[in-house]
Amino acid sequence: MSIDEAVKIAAIVFQLSSALAIAVAVPKYLLTRNQRSGETLLSLESRFKELQSPWECPSKKGKVPASAVTRIIDPEAKMYSRSLLASAIQLVLKKQSDQHCDEQNAWMCRLDELLRFLSLVAAMEVNRLLKRRALWDAYYYWFCAIWINQELRDYVRIYSPVLYKFLSNNQREIERYWARIEMQAGEL
């Protein structure tokens, strides 16, 4: 056997072993990616639970129990329009934040926590750190809740541009999901 033939055989063996290694690695990567996605979603959900929990809002009377920020912005709960959060956002949009009372400031902090969380979720989806469908299915309702509320959407556009870009890039999907929710609610 000549040196040229030996080199060709070695190259073929190397290519075959590389192809075999890739064939074994791809399923393993996909399996571990799915597991990591699941673990990350569970971690996100535990953080989201905190945002859905009632809290104590500071006031002139001391700390008073308050609903979760998600409950206030939940379109089905119909609590937003009469909330301190709504009046606080209206002042922000009018560039009159200096007129906020302590309670309104506390509500704005809670809202900003939620928006940072949703921005993180959106960034994970955009950067393909987690599966799009899994993240979207877990949090689409809250993307819809922000998008369909004009005041919240305006606030997000100004103060959370990354989240706003994500929402506007997914506007059709948001509107499709929301139409499905309304249709299902009408059937009840």
Q: Looking at beta carbons, which pairs linking 13-16 to residues 24 or more positions away fall under 8 Å?
A: none
Q: CA 113 to CA 186: how far, in whole Å?
A: 32
- Cα–Cα distances in angstroms (integers) from residue 117 to residues 6, 14, 99, 109, 153, in the given order: 59, 47, 27, 12, 16
In this prediction, residue 129 carries a pLDDT of: 76
Classify 52 as helix, strand or coil.
Answer: coil
Q: Which of these ranges, 18-22, 98-102, 144-148, 155-159, has the smallest mean pLDDT?
A: 18-22
In the prediction, which pLDDT does 181 show? 83
Who wins on pLDDT, 15 or 139?
Answer: 139
3-state secondary structure (DSSP) of residue 59: strand
* Choice among 10-24, 35-49, 119-133, 135-149 with the minimum mean pLDDT: 10-24
157-186 burial, b at 16+ Cβ within 10 Å, e below that, comes to eeebebbbebbeebeeebeebbeebeeeee
Q: Are 56 and 64 in contact (CB under 8 A)?
A: yes
State mean pLDDT over 59-65.
Answer: 82
Helix (H) or strand (E) holding 14: helix 3-51
Burial of 156 (0-12, 13-18, 19+ CB in 10 A): buried
Q: Please give the average per-residue pLDDT across 7-16, as a whole number.
A: 78
- Which helix (H) or strand (E) segment holds residue 56: the answer is strand 55-59
Which residues, 6 or more positions from 37, have their beta carbon under 8 angstroms from its beta carbon?
130, 131, 134
Q: Where are the domains of the chain?
A: 42-187
pLDDT bin (cut points 50, 70, 90) of residue 90 is very high
